[in-house]
């Protein structure tokens, strides 16, 4: 289309997409958009609501549909026709997905359109393809066991690219967690990470998908915890995240039920007790998500990180002097204190380890 030799922009023409005939008119399907997001046109003019997404479907309605006078901004029979339009778009969207599946290799279709199938209630189109997206499973490298905020979970899932073949899943194992309480979930997560299995986190699969038959379930109550010598313990440390006791042990492992093989772990939680080893790191994830009043409190988590790091250092100290040194705050150890210049201080502790006097 030109005017005085100048071609007009036609953003809705989408020359790379075919028009599809439906019961309500012609539809232009864009698989990057959702089937629920569409824009209707009647007799060349836009009608009805405007989609919120830049990627949406275009519907050119049959001219026998009636606009509501006098402004002609909505259909006269908007409720009835709206349902027909939605059904027609959904059917055309599904047909477009089917054609893409026929045109592409199974692995490529899963890589490009698995999320689209799930989001558009077309999950059954994935049932016979022997590949699944890696993002359906927990990414242990970027998502260690423990509590997570919703936004970090969304972001971390975007980091898990690629696909996984059915044979690889059968070899390594696919697991899910069967827990009565969310507080117990991290216990099973620690065990599954130690085994480096695939933990399924996508639950919108069609009931006949082959992956469902591979899933085994881990009950946190069945996770056995075994540890070596207890090096240090505190039943009520000053933690912000939760009321929990911490126990430092020389070695730590977990197993499931009666299985004979134990898997070494750095830290694991059982109810109100957190077990840690000398090389444990990032254990605040097993304590809390640190969401207070709908806001993530980074300062509280940092305080707990320091508290536990100090607890471990004190527990590993080979002498009372070394333990006291670890208990001193950073300001006492690394900041000049003029009043203490050249001083020698004697601390005395009672039989329970409480400070008795300072001289």
DSSP state of 135: G
**Which are the contacts of 355, defined by CB distance < 8 A and separation ≥ 6?**
347, 348, 349
Give residue-wise pLDDT tens across range 286-341. Answer: 999 999 998 999 999 999 999 999 999 999 988 777 777 767 776 777 788 888 88
**Which are the contacts of 53, defined by CB distance < 8 A and separation ≥ 6?**
33, 34, 37
Residue with tokens 């707990």: 304
Show the beta-strand stretches assigned E in 65-155: 131-133
171: phi then psi, degrees, rounded to nearest 5: -75, -45
CB environment 27-60: b (16+ within 10 A), e (fewer) = bbbbbebbbebbbbbbeeeebbeebeeeebbbbb
pLDDT at 157 exceeding the cut of 60? no
Give residue-wise pLDDT tens across range 245-275. Answer: 999 999 999 999 888 899 999 999 999 999 9
- Rounded CA separation 278/316 (Å): 7
C-alpha distances in angstroms, 4 versus 7, 8, 19, 233?
8, 10, 29, 85
For the chain, how big is the Rg over CA atoms in Å? 30
**Which are the contacts of 121, defined by CB distance < 8 A and separation ≥ 6?**
90
9 by Cβ neighbours in 10 Å (0-12 / 13-18 / 19+) ranks as: exposed
Instruction: Taking residues 133-142, report their average pLDDT.
Output: 93
pLDDT at 344 exceeding the cut of 70? yes
Give residue-wise pLDDT tens across range 345-357. Answer: 888 888 877 888 8
């Amino acid at each position: 289309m030109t005017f005085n030799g100048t071609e007009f922009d036609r953003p809705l023409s989408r020359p790379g997409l075919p028009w599809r005939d439906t019961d309500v008119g012609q539809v232009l399907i864009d698989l990057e958009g959702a089937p629920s997001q569409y824009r209707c046109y009647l007799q060349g003019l836009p009608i009805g609501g405007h989609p919120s997404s830049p990627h949406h479907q275009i519907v050119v309605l049959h001219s026998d549909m009636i606009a509501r006078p006098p402004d002609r901004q909505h259909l006269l029979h908007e409720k009835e026709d709206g349902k027909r339009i939605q059904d027609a778009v959904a059917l055309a969207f599904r047909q477009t997905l089917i054609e893409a599946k026929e045109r592409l290799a199974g692995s490529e279709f899963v890589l490009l359109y698995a999320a689209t199938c799930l989001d558009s209630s077309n999950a059954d189109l994935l049932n016979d393809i022997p590949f699944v997206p890696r993002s359906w499973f927990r990414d242990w490298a970027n998502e260690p066991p423990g509590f997570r905020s919703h936004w970090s979970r969304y972001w971390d899932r975007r980091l898990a690219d690629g696909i996984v073949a059915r044979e690889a899943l059968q070899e390594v194992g696919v697991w899910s967690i069967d827990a009565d309480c969310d507080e117990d979930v991290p216990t099973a997560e620690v065990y599954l990470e130690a085994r480096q299995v695939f933990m399924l986190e996508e639950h919108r699969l069609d009931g006949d998908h082959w992956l469902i038959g591979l899933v085994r379930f881990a009950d946190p109550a069945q996770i056995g915890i075994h540890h070596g010598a207890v090096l240090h313990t505190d039943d009520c440390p000053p933690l912000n995240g939760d009321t929990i006791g911490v126990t430092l042990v020389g070695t730590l492992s977990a197993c499931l039920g009666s299985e004979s093989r134990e898997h070494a772990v750095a830290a694991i939680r059982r109810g109100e007790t957190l077990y840690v080893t000398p090389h444990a790191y990032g254990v605040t994830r097993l304590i809390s998500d640190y969401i207070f009043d709908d806001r993530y409190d980074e300062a509280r988590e940092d305080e707990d990180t320091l508290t536990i790091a100090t607890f471990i250092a004190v527990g590993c100290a080979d002498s009372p002097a070394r333990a006291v040194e670890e208990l001193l705050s950073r300001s006492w150890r690394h900041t000049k204190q003029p009043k203490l210049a050249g001083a020698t201080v004697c601390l005395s502790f009672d039989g329970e380890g409480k400070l008795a006097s300072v001289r």
